[in-house]
């Protein structure tokens, strides 16, 4: 018999499954454990809708804007509870969800909770759920494929980080503001350590349009290695580097591991994934070109100033520091300002926090000043994409947010309509031609 603590510590969320179906008898065994969970005043008002019919799954994705992961999942369980009292409903359903996750692990099945299941009203229509029921979440059930089976257990916070005796104590936590200057490197590390594992190792987390990614490849095309990419995080742009050795530098060991997996998936080997040490003057890797690709938006002025000095001391004569960043003022920064105006200064209220943590378009003049103060006398600035390439992603996020009734920004099929076609036409027409101060993306090249 499996030890209870072994079950608890071995459970992990899986998002890639083997095609093997989960037997209905086994699902019944798992749900027999779920109905042993405590409920409010012993009311036992949960319900569990098991979905193993591909046609129903497809309806959830298409009609309810459900998570596209559902298509790859052998079975789903929608967990609901009588909603006469919302607080009790969430409590009772959540207790059952915990039992399901542990029971599935005990029986050798992977189970993961999903809250981006789509629009409640449309999910209820597809599954015939009465209006008075509250949907707590969906649970994916399946056997992990080889990649998922080999994936490590995600890092957990130590109990001392979250335990308080008798009254709440102040501990290290994120400030949840947009401005990177409000964040220490320790707080940024805290965010990255956990959010880099919100899906699976190697998945691209960065939000960028196709033209923004194409610009990276175009800028790097003529550069010489060895390369050192700073704050790589998810490895989104590793495949854009030309021939030459590549080292990466991240804030934490967890994100460095993420980078290593991303490099494998992108078929772009890296030499070493390093962890940043702010108390050193020389960066690792003996690079000829150092890059910061859409990352300065997430770093404080003090951190950027220091990185410029470290880059200068690290590079050989003729070496280059290449910075690619979304800039202000621009159409992109206008959207950013409207977003903050609409949602306030808590970055968690937008999709930004889940992907970047703090975020702020940069003033290129400030970056150029930091580079000059570091010692770079040869500095060149260019502007690209007057119509922001990110707007391609933004429109799809807005559509998904509306269709899912606020359930999610991502996990969607791409919407093709008059607006998306117009955006594609605009982006194609402008290409990667330089547009100076009108550009939403700045490319800064500093040569030593």
DSSP secondary structure string for all residues of 66-89: --GGGGG-SEEEEEEEETTSHHHH
Q: How far is it, in rounded angstroms, from Cα 408 to Cα 60?
A: 14
Which of 300, 303, 324 shows the shortest CA–CA distance to 229? 324
Which of 260, 294, 299, 254 shows the shortest CA–CA distance to 278? 299
Domains of the chain, by residue range, sit at: 4-150, 181-447
Q: How far is it, in rounded angstroms, from Cα 365 to Cα 382?
A: 12
Q: Which element (helix H / strand E) includes 416?
A: none
Look up residue 356 and give its DSSP letter. H
CA atoms 62, 64, 67, 73: torsion sign:
negative
CA atoms 366, 371, 376, 379: torsion sign:
negative
Does the bond joining 404 to the residue before it have cis omega, within 30 degrees of 0? no
Q: What is the pLDDT of residue 149?
A: 84
Say yes or no: do domains 4-150 and 181-447 share a fold. no
Residue 333 phi, psi dihedral angles, 5° rounding:
-70, -25
Q: How far is CA 397 from CA 19, 123, 208, 393, in A?
A: 30, 20, 12, 6
3 state SS of 372: helix
Q: What is the pLDDT of residue 1?
A: 67
DSSP string, 192-204: HHHHTTSS-TT--
Which residues pair with residue 293 across a beta bridge? 324
Which of 275, 267, 212, 215 shows the shortest CA–CA distance to 238? 267
Q: How far is it, in rounded angstroms, from Cα 352 to Cα 206?
A: 10
Give the other-Cβ count within 10 Å of 378's Cβ.
11
Q: How far is it, in rounded angstroms, from Cα 303 to Cα 310?
A: 10
Architecture of domain 181-447: 3-Layer(aba) Sandwich (3.40)
- Residue 253 tokens read as 């060991």
Look up residue 154 and give its DSSP letter. P
3 state SS of 28: helix
Provide the CATH number for the domain formed by 4-150 in this structure. Answer: 3.40.109.10
* Total-model pTM: 0.90
Q: What is the pLDDT of residue 234?
A: 86
For each of the chain's 448 residues, which pLDDT tens digit applies? 679 999 999 998 888 899 999 999 999 999 999 999 999 899 999 999 999 999 999 999 999 999 999 999 999 999 999 999 999 999 999 999 999 999 999 999 999 999 999 999 999 999 999 999 999 999 999 999 988 888 888 888 889 999 999 999 998 889 999 999 999 999 999 988 887 777 777 777 788 899 999 999 999 998 999 999 999 988 889 999 999 999 999 999 988 988 998 888 888 889 999 999 988 999 999 999 999 999 999 999 999 999 999 999 999 999 999 999 999 999 999 999 998 999 898 998 887 888 888 999 999 999 999 999 999 999 999 999 999 999 998 898 889 888 999 888 777 788 899 999 999 999 999 999 999 999 999 999 999 9
């Amino acid at each position: 018999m499996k030890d209870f603590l072994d079950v608890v510590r071995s459970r992990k969320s899986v998002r890639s499954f083997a095609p093997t179906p989960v037997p209905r008898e086994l699902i019944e065994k798992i749900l027999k454990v779920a109905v042993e969970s405590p409920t409010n005043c012993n009311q036992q008002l949960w319900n569990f809708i098991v979905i193993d019919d591909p046609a129903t799954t497809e309806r959830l994705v298409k009609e309810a804007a459900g998570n596209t992961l559902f298509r790859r999942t052998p079975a789903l369980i929608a967990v609901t509870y009588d909603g006469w009292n919302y607080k009790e409903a969430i409590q009772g359903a959540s207790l059952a969800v915990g039992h399901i996750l542990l029971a599935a692990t005990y029986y050798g099945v992977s189970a993961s909770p999903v809250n981006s299941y789509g629009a409640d009203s449309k999910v209820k229509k597809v599954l015939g759920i009465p209006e008075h029921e509250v949907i707590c979440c969906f649970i994916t059930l399946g056997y992990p494929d080889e990649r998922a089976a080999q994936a490590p257990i995600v890092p957990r916070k130590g109990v001392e980080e979250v335990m308080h005796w008798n009254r709440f104590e102040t501990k290290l936590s994120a400030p949840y503001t947009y401005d990177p200057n409000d964040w220490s490197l320790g707080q940024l590390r805290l965010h990255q350590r956990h959010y880099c594992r919100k899906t699976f190792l190697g998945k691209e987390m960065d939000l960028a349009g196709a033209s923004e990614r194409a610009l990276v490849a175009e800028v790097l095309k003529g550069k010489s290695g060895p390369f050192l990419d700073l704050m790589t995080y998810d490895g989104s742009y590793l495949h854009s580097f030309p021939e030459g050795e590549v080292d990466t530098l991240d804030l934490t060991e967890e994100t460095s591991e993420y980078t290593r997996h991303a490099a494998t998936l992108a078929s772009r080997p890296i030499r070493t994934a390093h962890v940043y040490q702010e108390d050193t003057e020389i960066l690792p890797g003996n690079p000829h070109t150092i890059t910061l690709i859409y990352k300065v938006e997430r770093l404080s002025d003090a951190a950027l100033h220091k990185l410029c000095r470290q880059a200068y001391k690290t590079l050989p004569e003729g070496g280059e520091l290449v910075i690619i960043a979304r800039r202000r003022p621009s159409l992109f920064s206008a959207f950013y300002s409207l977003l903050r105006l609409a949602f306030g200064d808590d970055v968690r209220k937008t999709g930004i926090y889940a992907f970047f943590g703090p975020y702020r378009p940069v003033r290129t003049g400030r970056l150029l000043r930091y580079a000059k103060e570091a010692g770079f006398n040869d500095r060149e600035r260019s502007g690209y994409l007057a119509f922001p390439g990110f707007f391609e992603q933004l429109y799809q996020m807005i559509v998904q947010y509306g269709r899912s009734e606020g359930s999610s920004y991502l996990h969607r099929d791409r919407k093709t309509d008059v607006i998306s076609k117009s955006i594609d036409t605009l982006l194609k027409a402008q290409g990667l031609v330089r547009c100076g101060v009108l550009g939403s993306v700045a490319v800064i090249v500093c040569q030593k």
